[in-house]
Amino acid sequence: MSSVGQVIRCKAAVAWESGKPLSIEEVEVAPPQKDEVRIKILFTSLCHTDVYFWDAKGQNPLFPRILGHEAGGIVESVGEGVTDLEPGDHVLPIFTGECKECAHCLSEESNMCDLLRINTDRGEMLHDGKSRFSINGKPIYHFLGTSTFSEYTVVHVGQVAKINPDAPLDKVCVLSCGMSTGFGATVNVAKPKKGQSVAIFGLGAVGLAAAEGARVSGASRIIGIDLNPSRFEQAKKFGVTEFVNPKDHNKPVQEVIAEMTGGGVDRSVECTGSIQAMISAFECVHDGWGVAVLVGVPNKDDAFKTHPVNLLNERTLKGTFFGNYKPRTDIPAVVERYMNKELELDKFITHSVPFSEINKAFDLMLAGEGLRCVIRMDA
């Protein structure tokens, strides 16, 4: 019997309130409306952003909510007006979108779609301002337009990347957020040339993805900077060649790096969100040609200062969002880089749990263990 056009009853992990374990519930998932797609999620992984909004620190808490945004699945049905996706397509839902019509989407330089760029406050679908999820008729809010902690979810077509059906979804699901963010920051924005040196600030999953980008680009030296020395051993697998712990030095880490590299690194990528790391990442690049790229998300009231001479001496400071990838246009090609064995993903996936044990993934992340925990929806 076909589920097209019908409400689907399935399991979802619902966050009822801030900081409380998710609860597996039976939810009703409405059919997709205009410009929407209903997706059967097969694998989803946990990202810090999910934990941040589950913990509801420093932003508008919205509950009950179905979190989750790093995932892979298969299109179950499509709504009115959807022409470039059909049932059976393998897809990655993505927390930001590409309408293909606004000034940003029409620009080669931007991926910050006016219609679909990340919106952490919105809990409903754009089409009608309503949720597609409910329990006993009461709406459950969406998260980032993706809500992948559910066996089925409804996503705007502009937030869905159609990928090679041969790609293993349990691996490439991590490309829908963190890995693409870090990898793209290096290859699309910092753009190190073969043989150049790259400093990576913060060796979590996104920082290691940035290191992977430097490795793939042929960087000669990849210097990892982190306050946690237990991360250094793991980082070697991602091409990191040298390590600096700022706590081991009695001078600013940018000075340590300048001394190690004869005046500074060629490129740096900052993946922590700490203001101090941002300043260090900028000030540690070589004058004349150095480029620093900011990836980490700061606190709301943060600001940093640096002497304008640092810029006048021909250093460049850039920012990036989602690795400058346009979700629908560019992400399928990143999947191909994995399929062609240029980009390695397996080493990012350190844990795997069945959907019934999704809270274990939160425990692992809160304990700082591992990089990515993939959640198997059918288990």
69 is catalytic: yes
Which helix (H) or strand (E) segment holds residue 9: the answer is strand 8-14
Which ranges of the chain does DSSP label H, i.e. alpha helix? 48-55, 103-106, 169-172, 178-184, 205-216, 232-235, 253-261, 275-283, 309-312, 327-339, 358-366
Catalytic residue among 49, 146, 186, 261: 49
Other CB atoms within 10 Å distance of the CB of residue 119: 13
Catalytic residue among 47, 173, 271, 373: 47
113 is catalytic: yes
Catalytic residue among 48, 122, 127, 351: 48
70 is catalytic: yes
Catalytic residue among 10, 25, 28, 102: 102
Catalytic residue among 36, 76, 96, 113: 113
Catalytic residue among 96, 105, 142, 151: 105
Using an 8 Å Cβ cutoff, are 31 and 4 in contact?
yes
CA distance 330 to 110: 12
Using an 8 Å Cβ cutoff, are 72 and 91 in contact?
yes
Using an 8 Å Cβ cutoff, are 112 and 103 in contact?
no
- By 3-state DSSP, what share of the chain in percent is helix, strand and coil, each rounded to 5? 30, 25, 45
47 is catalytic: yes
Place of tokens 């001479």: 309
373 is catalytic: no
Catalytic residue among 38, 65, 90, 117: 117
Catalytic residue among 44, 90, 99, 284: 99
Q: Distances from the Cα of 248 to the Cαs of 226, 230, 251, in angstroms? A: 11, 14, 9
Position 28: which residue type? E
Q: Is 322 helix (H, G, I), strand (E, B) or coil?
A: helix
177 is catalytic: yes
49 is catalytic: yes
- Give the number of C-alpha atoms closer than 13 A to the C-alpha of residue 200, restricted to the C-beta side: 34
99 is catalytic: yes
Catalytic residue among 173, 177, 271, 373: 177
Question: Could you tell me which residues come within 8 angstroms of residue 295 by beta carbon, excluding any fewer than 6 positions away?
Answer: 181, 182, 185, 206, 210, 269, 270, 271, 319, 320
Residues annotated as catalytic are 47-49, 69-70, 99, 102, 105, 113, 117, 177, 372
